[in-house]
Structure 1
Amino acid sequence: MLTYRGTVYPWHCDHMGHMNVMWYVGKFDEATWHLFNAIGLGPAALRAAGRGMAAVEQRITYVRELHAGAVVSVTTVVNEVHERKISFTHEMRSDDTGELAASTTVLGVHLDTTQRRACALPPAVRAAALELTANAN
């Protein structure tokens, strides 16, 4: 599933001339919110239910450097869906070459924002996420 498309701007680059790690994380974060919106966890739904999501684990692999002007896309696959958590992987690729630039796997937990504790994902959200998992295989 396409979850992000954007461009590397000069201000995303560090003193070595390639996109700084903070921008990879930022672009992956934007992709995460597109995924969450697609499965029913958009900002309005989360606020209305008094819920939130928290990343409790994230592993990033950097494969190729990206430079100013690169156009990139992030695609996302849902790995696992549990009662209170979801795991997914984003892959960032150069649109020009199709080469993998970076990937990240994230474990997110659904939270009750009042109690600050993990809580069950809504059944419709779990079903939507599971459907993405099934379609990925």
Structure 2
Amino acid sequence: MEEASYRGTVYPWQCDHVGHMNIMWYVGKFDEANWNLFARLGLTPSYLRQSGRGMAAVQQNVAYKRELLAGDFVEIRSRLLELREKSIRFLHEMRNAETCELTATCEITGVHMDRKLRKSAPFEDAVRTAAARHLAPEPAMA
């Protein structure tokens, strides 16, 4: 796992009628982690603006393990699982930063796209080189 791709806090207004963080906020925090991971690969905001490229999620699988409550500190660590010609697959692990308990995971497949043509586009060599340094093997199934 890499260094943290997101750190934050659960605010009371992010909690639902049961008292734990609502699923929309889990997804939002995972989304923020996406952009930090992308920046490490060279998919920075300036690159995306200047190149006319973008990223689009095509599949997202979230598993909720433990609840988070108002005031809890959250940390997400992310790892790149696969880079193909035009797509990327990665995994986020969200933890309670105080207790280190795993609270949720999110595996996402995203597509690199040409924003003008609205079609998938190959990653540039610089992104592929950066990604190669971040590729992590998937853990073996127990």
Assess same fold via TM > 0.5: yes
Structure 1 residue ranges (4+ consecutive) displaced by more than 4 angstroms after TM superposition: 134-137
Please tell me whether residue 40 in structure 1 is matched to residue 42 in structure 2.
yes
RMSD: 1.3
Q: Is the deviation greater in 3-12 or in 37-46?
A: 37-46
Q: How far apart, in 2, do the equivalents of 1:123 and 1:87 lie?
A: 17
Q: 1:7, 1:72 within 8 Å by CA — same for their partners in 2?
A: yes
Structure 2 counterparts to residues 74-85 of structure 1, below 5 A: 74-85=76-87
Q: Which ranges of structure 1 fall in alignment gaps of 5 or more residues?
A: none
Q: Give the structure-2-normalised TM-score.
A: 0.93
Name the SS of the counterpart of 1:78 in structure 2.
strand
The within-5 A match list for 1:91-102 is 91-102=93-104
- Residue 56 of structure 1 deviates from its aligned partner by 0.3
Instruction: Number of aligned residue pairs: give it.
Output: 137
Q: Which residue of 1 aligns with 2:5?
A: 3
C-alpha deviation, 1:130, in angstroms: 1.8
- CA distance in 2 between counterparts of 1:19 and 1:82 reads 34
Correspondence 1:109-120 to 2 at 5 A = 109-120=111-122
Residue 14 of structure 1 contacts residue 20 of structure 1 at CA under 8 Å; is this kept in 2? yes
State the distance in 2 between where 1:41 and 1:35 align. Answer: 9
Normalising by structure 1, report the TM-score: 0.96
> What amino acid is the match of 1:85?
S
For 1:38-77, list aligned pairs within 5 A: 38-77=40-79
Q: Per the alignment, in what secondary structure is the counterpart of residue 135 of structure 2?
A: helix
In the alignment, is the contact (CA less than 8 A) between 1:77 and 1:136 conserved in 2?
Answer: no
Identify the residue that residue 106 of structure 1 maps to in structure 2. 108
Partner Cα separation in structure 2 for residue 104 and residue 134 of structure 1: 16
